[in-house]
């Protein structure tokens, strides 16, 4: 015997899945969301610092830099290990005056190990 047709029931129960519109990351970053705009600005600053440090540091030190963050007048440079953190710290100390001349908004420079 065939199932009865339930004409008075609509198909909008809680088990029905909603379709989501999938956006690309580029579309999300172009949007007006303030959190994503902040991330985009931070990524642009990191790219600027990466280029600047690539021009001014020797190759050994710059290849061991994992990340760069500029926050509230402090430039934080992350190294891949504790040993490289010390080496990068000494290399940064040699060019610290150039950094302050090129970017006067930087008050403090810190080199840290990037946690895994």
Q: Which domain holds residue 66?
A: 25-113
Residue 75 in any domain: the answer is: yes
Residue 43 in any domain: the answer is: yes
Burial category of 9 from C-beta neighbours within 10 Å (exposed 0-12, middle 13-18, buried 19 and up): exposed
Residue 47 in any domain: the answer is: yes
Residue 78 in any domain: the answer is: yes
Residue 90 in any domain: the answer is: yes
Looking at the structure of the chain, the number of domains it has is: 1
What local confidence, expressed as pLDDT, does residue 83 receive? 92
What local confidence, expressed as pLDDT, does residue 26 receive? 72
Q: Could you tell me the sign of the dihedral formed by the alpha carbons of 70, 72, 73, 77, in that order?
A: negative
What is the residue-level pLDDT of the chain in tens, covering all 116 positions? 667 666 666 665 555 566 666 667 776 666 666 667 778 888 898 999 999 999 998 888 888 899 899 888 899 999 989 999 999 999 999 999 999 998 888 999 999 998 77
């Amino acid at each position: 015997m065939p199932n009865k047709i339930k004409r008075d029931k609509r198909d909008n129960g809680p088990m029905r899945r909603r379709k989501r519109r999938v956006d690309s990351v580029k579309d999300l970053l172009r949007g007006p969301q303030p959190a994503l705009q902040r991330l985009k600005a931070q990524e642009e600053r990191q790219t600027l610092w990466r280029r600047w440090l690539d021009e001014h540091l020797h190759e050994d030190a710059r290849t061991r830099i994992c990340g760069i963050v500029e926050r509230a007048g402090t430039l934080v440079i992350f190294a891949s290990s504790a040993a490289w953190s010390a080496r990068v710290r000494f290399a940064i100390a040699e060019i610290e005056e150039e950094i302050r001349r090129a970017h006067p908004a930087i008050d403090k420079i810190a080199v840290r190990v990037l946690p895994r």
